[in-house]
Amino acid sequence: MTSISAMVGAMSGRRKPSNRLSFRMELLSMRNRYWEGTTISSERSETLLSMSVPATLHGVRVLCLALVGVLREQCEDQQYIDQFESAVAEAANNIVQHGMGVCELARIDVEVIAEGEAVAVSLRDYGPHFDPVAYLEADDDPQVDIHAATESHARVGLKLIRRLVDELEYHRLPNGNQLILRKYLSVPS
């Protein structure tokens, strides 16, 4: 999978599009090729937001502000918006705090997609792989102080995310990770 910056860099050797609309269309086409490996499925899906933010706490805040704006256009239910924002903030903060380290591409690529009666948020990072199933399926040991161990923090964070959204998907990519959080606007039938 090629990064967007590499694709934009490759464009510099080509003839430049004649106007801004052509350039935007070419970028959208490249973005679609970039995201073609995702498993977001719906016949009625529409990209609501596509952005990259620095993998910093400030970047997470910018992401959350943009997400809330998009969600308010989709739904008036403040509890839905708050829960989804909390889940995405927790996932993005986990990327920043546990996943990026000295990663060369310290950014988070974000897609917010309307899928019929659901909204999906795809968070793509370039950090080391991890096994969320191990954290989610691990037995909660009452002897473990959840404030003492990094693994315990991750386990609590992922479980919180899973409680706040309807579906949670993880994909191990060749050069990073993708987490997809999906929340239905109404109860799925």
CATH number at residue 139: 3.30.565.10
Asked if pLDDT for residue 105 goes beyond 90, the answer is no
**Total domains, the chain:** 2
Mean pLDDT of the chain: 75
Residues 177 and 86 placed together within one structural domain of the fold: yes
Q: Tens digits of per-residue pLDDT, 71-90?
A: 999 999 999 999 999 999 99
User: Are 19 and 106 contained in the same domain?
Assistant: no
Q: Does residue 155 sit in the same domain as residue 123? A: yes
CA dihedral 177, 90, 122, 106 (to 10 degrees): -50
pTM for this predicted structure? 0.68
Residue 189 lies in a domain: no
Both 133 and 166 in one domain: the answer is yes
Tell whether 147 is covered by a domain: yes
Q: Structure tokens of 173? A: 């990519």
| Selected residue with higher pLDDT from 157 and 105 | 157
Range of the domain at 88: 40-184
Domain shared by 65 and 97, yes or no: yes
- Residue, of 131 and 11, whose pLDDT is higher: 131
Q: Angle, nearest 10°, between helix axes 57-74 and 78-94?
A: 150
* pLDDT tens digits along 18-56: 444 444 455 445 444 444 444 434 457 899 999 999 999
